Amino acid sequence: MSTPPVLNSASASSSGERFLEGKVALVTGASRGIGRAIAERLALRGAKLACVATHAKNCAETVDRCRALGAPAAQALGVDVSSTQAVAELVEQVQKELGEPYVLVNNAGLTRDQLLLRMSEEDFDRVIAVNLKGAWNFTRAAARSLMKGRGRIVNISSVVGLMGNAGQSNYAASKAGLLGLTRSVAKELASRGVCVNAIAPGFIQTDMTAKLGEAAAQELASSIPLKRIGTPEEIALAVDYLVGPGGAYVTGQTLVVDGGLCL
């Protein structure tokens, strides 16, 4: 396997500016994996971070890292993203304590894999509730703030939402649903200057994929045209593009970041 590029604060400062200085970025699923990498990247850009996971304490380390990377403020928050009321209250708290969100990254997600005939109704409903309704909850709660600031929304979907995957009918449906949500909200909010896009990661090295085991991961990596799995930082860099100056005229799109897996 070839090694991925090394990213650090030096590469960020040489490749760009603190274009989010003092702006509020709300990142769900920020306790680890892709969400943590996104929060850290936005911290380098000068954003004030609202880091959300199921429990605030799960984001404590992310918050410390964001502050160390230069975020002017960073707050850890806990909520079940599937709870419409609790999400509305959390967004109100962020508005009061940090300011009106300019960036919203809907990244929180989970898998409950099972073949169709063995999948329970509960596992189908839970994955849709967290991965799809969770994003809708945050989008609706933050929409007014985002409209005021002509902000950006990035939804973290998956190549599975484009290709489907045996054993993931719930997850694939939730991730395909996110693409419909992305395009619809992009159309609704375009007149208010808000850009709404999705990223479809391929196979990325996180806790979610560690479940597969080393042997299966190696086999999967060999089937990827770029011959390696991706890193959370590589997804964070795609977010960086969409919320930065380069993304100002891009809306309703799905950016596939998968090493060529979908080709």
Residues marked as catalytic: 171
Contact stretch for ligand NAP (CB under 6 A) within 18-26, 142-150, 205-213, 218-226: 205-213
Single residue of 12, 24, 34, 47 touching ligand NAP by CB under 6 A: 34
Query: Which residue, 147 or 208, is less far from ligand NAP as judged by CB?
Result: 208
Please provide the distance, in angstroms rounded to a whole number, between the alpha carbons at the two ends of the chain. Answer: 19
The tokens describing 18, both together, are 């603190």
Q: Over the Cα atoms of the chain, what is R_g?
A: 17
Residues 183-202 binding ligand NAP (CB under 6 A) are: 201
Q: Is 256 helix (H, G, I), strand (E, B) or coil?
A: strand
Q: How far is the CB of 217 from ligand NAP (least distance, A)?
A: 10
Q: By the 8 A CB rule, do 183 and 160 touch? A: no
The verdict on 33 binding ligand NAP (CB under 6 A) reads yes
DSSP 191: G
209 near ligand NAP, judged by CB under 6 A = yes
Among 7, 20, 25, 35, binds ligand NAP (CB under 6 A): 35
Q: Segment contacting ligand NAP (CB under 6 A): 6-14, 42-50, 105-113, 237-245? A: 105-113
Q: Which residues pair with 254 in a beta bridge?
A: 198
d(CA 180, CA 175): 9
Residue 11 is a binding residue for ligand NAP (CB under 6 A): no
> Which C-beta is closer to ligand NAP: that of 230 or that of 247?
230
Is position 82 an interface residue for ligand NAP (rule: CB under 6 A)? yes
Q: What is the longest distance spanned by two Cα atoms in the chain?
A: 52
Could you tell me if 255 and 197 are in contact, meaning their C-beta atoms sit under 8 angstroms apart? yes
For residue 81, state whether it binds ligand NAP (rule: CB under 6 A).
Answer: yes
Write the CB contacts of 193 (distance below 8 Å, at least 6 apart in sequence): 147, 150
Give the residues lining the site for ligand NAP (CB under 6 A). 28-35, 53-55, 58, 80-82, 107-110, 130, 156, 158, 201, 203-204, 206-209
